[in-house]
Amino acid sequence: MIYFHAVFIDETGCEFGAGITASNKEEAYDLLRESYPESRIVQLESPEDTAAREAAIYARISAEIDGEEFYDDLNEEW
């Protein structure tokens, strides 16, 4: 079983978090939708998902500190 953390938007537009243990992400989505039918799931992460997202953030920051222009591709689109 995997512990998933979810971020929701409720019917008033407020954000809140909840956690659930499930065997996979699809099951977690289903269980959370049943538990919070009035709210919308905007993010659902396992510990591995969180670690990958954080690693990508640190890689971008490191690239910027090292002088690489990480966001040049984004600026060209504007």
Rounded to a whole number of angstroms, the distance between the first and last alpha carbons of the chain is 44
Domain that holds residue 26: 1-45
Position 75 scores a pLDDT of: 55
* pLDDT-derived band at 51, boundaries 50, 70, 90: very high
Domain identity same for 57 and 39: no
Domain identity same for 59 and 38: no
Mean pLDDT for the stretch of residues 61-76? 68
Phi, psi of 59 (to 5 degrees): -65, -40
Please state the pTM of the whole predicted model.
Answer: 0.72
Cα–Cα distance for residue pair 51/33, rounded to 1 Å:
24
Domain identity same for 64 and 75: yes
* Cβ atoms within 10 Å of 46's Cβ, excluding its own: 16
From the list 26, 32, 22, the residue with the least C-alpha distance to 2 is: 22
